Amino acid sequence: MSAGLRRRTLLAAGGAAAAVAACSPPAAAPLPPAVWVGARHERGHRLRSAATLPTAAVQRRAAVLVVGAGIAGLAAARGYLQRGVQDLHLLELEDAAGGNSRGHQLGGMACPLGAHYLPVPADDGPAREVAAWLHQIGLLKREHGRTVADERHLCHSPQERLFIDGAWVEGLLPPVDPGSPAAAQLQRFAQAVVELQRGGRGARGEPAFALPAHRSAWGPAQAELERTTFAQWLAAQGLTDERLRWYLDYCCRDDYGAGTETVSAWAGVHYFASRHGFHAPGGDGSDADDREAVFTWPEGNAWMVQRLAAPFADRLHTGRTVLRVTEGRHDVQVLAWDESRQQLEAWTAPQVVLALPLFIAARVLESPPSALREAAKGLAYAPWLVANLQLDAPLLDRVGAPPSWDNVVYGSRGLGYVDAMHQGLRPVPGATVLTVYHALPRSERAVLLADDPRPWAERVLAELRGAHPDIDRRVQRIALMRWGHAMAIPAPGVQRHPSLQALRGARGRVRYAHADLAGCSLFEEAFIAGCEAALP
Ligand SMILES: Cc1cc2nc3c(=O)[nH]c(=O)nc-3n(C[C@H](O)[C@H](O)[C@H](O)COP(=O)(O)OP(=O)(O)OC[C@H]3O[C@@H](n4cnc5c(N)ncnc54)[C@H](O)[C@@H]3O)c2cc1C
């Protein structure tokens, strides 16, 4: 969820901690109204009973059909449009495009339902397609020979803070005393990342750790990292400091939906060596600007979805649950359930892009190729809970760093919250929406589908009460979004798995585009998977 870090030395505020510890949270008030929002699980579950289907009420043809209008599907559709294909249509199960990057409104305020930021990519870096699109929509510009980002869409300061030892501190890296063994471990981890970056370049100059991941170099060093979990690798390096380990675990849960015990060492290092950085306090670069540049919006990445979807207008068919895809000799037939008219549509197209999570693609495709069956079986997905809390007024200011865009509680099971109004330009803080993120263990998926949202709302509030004793008084309403299969987990062996590589390279009538192809879920992965699927 959060951006990475560039931190100056941070020291715990001892006196401040004592002051806050003296004020303990009051008894919990009655729970405010809590509702589930955002996903039509019954539509997805329709796939389970799709063995016998009625006769199609509508027959349609298209030159290209894109199934799924998440970031990957929208980027694929854009790619075909750029190649001059006008007769293309998108079929999307939900009532809006965007998938995991959709947004919501609460009390008249925009807020995210899922993804909410994008680090600013380099023009000539591995995510060049993303940079090119950002230039096209004006978020990046060339000025006096260099690229600059539109300040209005960059995360405003202050960006991140951590609640630890009873006070808020700037940044998310737990503070350490200079010269302590903990500080030495931070330095050693930073050094290890730099050495792996420098030492692992490919023969043709590929970066050791690129985003998208498939543009990274791959040699014995990377393969070795991919064989173990990040936790095992850290232990082998003697990196055992509790606070460092919490921070690294937090980062993995935040970007990958699972912690250091689950993700591969390659994925753990990739987080810091590609998308984010790791700058230990007092180390090289500690004097640099400590704000990592990220784009963000009140409604999260739904802002970008709106721009991506705009060219398609009536070619984007929402409320269409694709139930079956059959590859014929010359065409592909796609059967979609029109949710508003409650009737079946039969589409035919010579080219179909399945921009779906791979386990769904494997279910809808009548005869899935072995690579797809294998990939669907091999990927594990993390469930997520996103709770939007509508506040009638700002929370009481506590000791330490001021309210920031991203606010995290040390040691919490949750991933903290972002403030949807942080990007607003109003002079005085007022009512707002806090978006709280929880990446859950897979064992909690079934409970997440329970009818009653209140136990989840209570859990979300309980995690915040220590840092915000007045939260119960301020929350008016809680809108909860549950993602049963939110994102593929980059466990050992996922990166460079032959089945994923085969699907990425598929050039037949059925192609694949989804962040799943990377074995992890990030905007850049989804966007570039879509761009590549649309290549001739
Ligand atoms: C809670 C959360 C927070 C995140 N935060 C960030 C973030 O801040 N930054 C970031 O870069 N990434 C973030 N991500 C990752 C995010 O998943 C990616 O950025 C990106 O949105 C993935 O896009 P996609 O197109 O690959 O997949 P999806 O979003 O999964 O898109 C697939 C689409 O297919 C549709 N579909 C499924 N089944 C059918 C069917 N049978 N018929 C028709 N349509 C169907 C779905 O409704 C969906 O629209 C987050 C993810 C989650 C879950």
**DSSP-derived 3-state class of residue 148:** strand
Q: Which atom of ligand 1 is nearest to the CA of 516?
A: 26
Would you say residue 67 has pLDDT above 90?
Answer: yes
In a domain, 303, yes or no: no
In a domain, 62, yes or no: yes
In a domain, 161, yes or no: no
Structural tokens at position 489 = 């987990």
Nearest CA to ligand 1 atom 48: 99
Structural tokens at position 39 = 């996903």
Which band of pLDDT confidence, cut at 50, 70 and 90, is reported for residue 354? Answer: very high
pLDDT tens track for 401-412: 999 999 999 999
Any idea which of 12-21, 44-53, 85-94, 363-372 has the lowest mean pLDDT? 12-21
Same domain, residue pair 368 and 398: no
Would you say residue 373 has pLDDT above 50?
Answer: yes
Using CA atoms, how far apart are residues 190 and 88, in angstroms rounded to an integer? 47
Give, in degrees to the nearest 5, the angle at Cα 63 between 373 and 53.
Answer: 55
In a domain, 333, yes or no: yes
Pocket test for ligand 1, best of 40, 521, 523, 524 (most atoms within 8 A of CB): 521
Centroid of ligand 1 to alpha carbon of 381 (angstroms): 12
Which band of pLDDT confidence, cut at 50, 70 and 90, is reported for residue 288? Answer: very low
- With a 6 A CB cut-off, is 308 part of the ligand 1 pocket? no
In a domain, 246, yes or no: yes
Average pLDDT over residues 208-237: 96
Average pLDDT over residues 376-384: 97
Residue 264 DSSP label:
B
In a domain, 138, yes or no: yes
pTM of the model: 0.94
Would you say residue 286 has pLDDT above 70?
Answer: no
Same domain, residue pair 516 and 367: yes
> Omega before 212 cis (within 30°)?
yes
Please name which of 320, 311, 338 lies closest in space to residue 91, comparing C-alpha atoms: 320
pLDDT tens track for 472-484: 999 999 999 999 9
Centroid of ligand 1 to alpha carbon of 70 (angstroms): 5
Please name which of 193, 221, 206, 214 lies closest in space to residue 277, comparing C-alpha atoms: 193
Same domain, residue pair 207 and 337: no
Same domain, residue pair 372 and 496: yes
Same domain, residue pair 213 and 241: yes
Same domain, residue pair 386 and 374: no
- With a 6 A CB cut-off, is 100 part of the ligand 1 pocket? yes
pLDDT of residue 9: 29
pLDDT of residue 48: 72
Which band of pLDDT confidence, cut at 50, 70 and 90, is reported for residue 4? Answer: very low
Number of domains forming the structure of the chain: 3
Mean pLDDT estimate for the chain: 91
Structural tokens at position 66 = 């894109």
pLDDT of residue 28: 55
Q: Which atom of ligand 1 is nearest to the CA of 75?
A: 25
Same domain, residue pair 247 and 375: no
Which band of pLDDT confidence, cut at 50, 70 and 90, is reported for residue 14? Answer: very low
Same domain, residue pair 438 and 483: yes
Same domain, residue pair 222 and 127: no
Would you say residue 265 has pLDDT above 90?
Answer: yes
Which band of pLDDT confidence, cut at 50, 70 and 90, is reported for residue 10? Answer: very low
Average pLDDT over residues 175-191: 95
Using CA atoms, how far apart are residues 250 and 254, in angstroms rounded to an integer? 6
pLDDT of residue 30: 80
For tokens 């014995």, what's the residue?
220
- With a 6 A CB cut-off, is 358 part of the ligand 1 pocket? no
Cβ pair 398, 469 in contact under 8 A: no
Would you say residue 467 has pLDDT above 50?
Answer: yes
The dihedral through the CA atoms of 255, 256, 258, 263 has a sign that is negative
Which band of pLDDT confidence, cut at 50, 70 and 90, is reported for residue 291? Answer: low
pLDDT of residue 5: 34
In a domain, 294, yes or no: no
Give, in degrees to the nearest 5, the angle at Cα 331 between 330 and 336.
Answer: 165
Which band of pLDDT confidence, cut at 50, 70 and 90, is reported for residue 282? Answer: low
In a domain, 171, yes or no: no
The proportion of the chain whose per-residue pLDDT surpasses 90, expressed as a percent, equals 83
Q: Which atom of ligand 1 is nearest to the CA of 72?
A: 25
Cβ pair 75, 535 in contact under 8 A: no
Would you say residue 22 has pLDDT above 60?
Answer: no
Same domain, residue pair 280 and 334: no
Centroid of ligand 1 to alpha carbon of 88 (angstroms): 21
- With a 6 A CB cut-off, is 70 part of the ligand 1 pocket? yes
Same domain, residue pair 323 and 452: no
pLDDT of residue 205: 85
- With a 6 A CB cut-off, is 91 part of the ligand 1 pocket? yes
Q: Which atom of ligand 1 is nearest to the CA of 74?
A: 25
- DSSP conformation letters of 16-81: HHHHHHTSPPPPPPPPPPEEE-S--HHHHHGGGG-SS-PPPSEEEE-SEEEE--SHHHHHHHHHHH
Centroid of ligand 1 to alpha carbon of 21 (angstroms): 40
Cβ pair 114, 523 in contact under 8 A: no
**Rg for the chain, CA atoms, rounded:** 23
Please name which of 515, 496, 526, 495 lies closest in space to residue 267, comparing C-alpha atoms: 495
Average pLDDT over residues 267-281: 88
- With a 6 A CB cut-off, is 487 part of the ligand 1 pocket? yes
Q: Which atom of ligand 1 is nearest to the CA of 481?
A: 1
- With a 6 A CB cut-off, is 71 part of the ligand 1 pocket? yes
Of 239, 274, 289, at which residue does a domain stop? Answer: 289
- With a 6 A CB cut-off, is 99 part of the ligand 1 pocket? yes
Average pLDDT over residues 233-254: 98
Same domain, residue pair 196 and 79: no
Residue 110 DSSP label:
E
Task: Provide the domain limits for residue 506.
Answer: 41-95+318-380+490-533
CATH number of the domain at 347, please: 3.50.50.60
CATH number of the domain at 123, please: 3.90.660
Using CA atoms, how far apart are residues 159 and 2, in angstroms rounded to an integer? 9
Cβ pair 50, 324 in contact under 8 A: yes
Cβ pair 196, 501 in contact under 8 A: no
User: Exposed, middle or buried by CB within 10 Å (0-12, 13-18, 19+), for 243?
Assistant: middle
Q: Please name every residue paired with 168 in a beta bridge, in sequence order, or none if there are none.
A: 163, 400
Please name which of 489, 429, 101, 163 lies closest in space to residue 295, comparing C-alpha atoms: 101
Which band of pLDDT confidence, cut at 50, 70 and 90, is reported for residue 292? Answer: confident
pLDDT of residue 425: 77
The proportion of the chain whose per-residue pLDDT surpasses 70, expressed as a percent, equals 92
